Structure 1
Amino acid sequence: MGNREKLLKAARDCLYEKGYRRTTARDLTTAAGTSLAAIGYHFGSTEALLNAALHEAVQEWGDRLDRALAAGIDPGAEPAERFAAVWSRIIESFGADRPLWAAQAELLVQAQHVAELREPLVASMAEGRRGLAEVFQPSGTGEREARLVGSLVQALLTGLMTRWLIDPEEALSGDELTEALRLLASELG
């Protein structure tokens, strides 16, 4: 494993153990067994390294979710049943990947104050929005509809994740989320 890979692994470990804001360049190089210069050479900055590690972790989560959805959700299921099943899998990942979600939540707050974080986060969110639209509206839609569906699902995911991190006992399940959306939809007519 080269220095770049060592640094990425160290960054992920530090993100999960210490969080985004509390991880220092020294933490990263100590965990990776590299010099401070290696961060600059491979990534340009500590923040760029942490962003790369977090982006890689989120990509891996998306791949795991895709596999879980492909293996365990009947594509012929009724839309509401499929919706609840997909959300149940996502919610399960909050527990299985708690350090990832905590790091994501911290990054969302930091991006408000650090412009260098905002740009990659915006790009990552756009990619995630497209992927979520495909998961929740597999029949395909136009670009506008995909943006709307993906944005709504992304907002739900962020809200559920935040609630789960703070108070998992009161967070909605996939079935409860489906029921809540049905109640809202009937109100909207």
Structure 2
Amino acid sequence: MAAGSESRLQLIHRHIRAFPDFPNTGILFRDICPILKDPAALTAVIDLFEEHVRKNYKQVDLIVGLDARGFLFGPLLAQRLCVGFVLVRKKGKLPGATVSVAYNLEYGKAEAEIQEDAVAPGQKVLIIDDLLATGGTLYAACELMKKQQAEVLGCMVVIELKELNGFERLKPHSVFSLVKY
């Protein structure tokens, strides 16, 4: 990575706080709130995502953001790329006709949904979120895109928790992570 990219990654890394035993005992929570509070750190995140997309993808039609922290980074990136932004929400949060998919969480089940007309067949999409842990939510988003007949170019996250192997669940889709723990 170029020197400028490396210094931006260091800035991002310095703005991620760790909270032991949150929300449950034994979990080390990685908090992105300091990134959002610091304009330089937030700009660094979006700069690095933008560089990755421009270098690796000739055409992107939409950025698809996951509820809720993907909503923080996705619109900023979409604006930079001059493409649209689409929401993937928890079931029951979107008006109108929706398409949904059920998926497993570490401690239960959930459903994600998208508005039926949000993504057209054949559109090229990148999916964005703040964190990749076990991959359940990102996998559900990929499945929603499959239902919509969209082409998932890849997934992008600020933080990846490598020991949980979430990237394995997302194969064959690629995962771009800024910071790995």
TM-score range, shorter chain: under 0.3
Which structure shows the higher strand fraction?
2
As a proportion of its length, which structure holds more helix?
1
Answer 1 or 2: higher relative contact order, Cα 8 Å, separation at least 6.
Answer: 1
TM-score with structure 2 length normalisation?
0.27
Q: Which of the pair has more CA radius of gyration?
A: 1
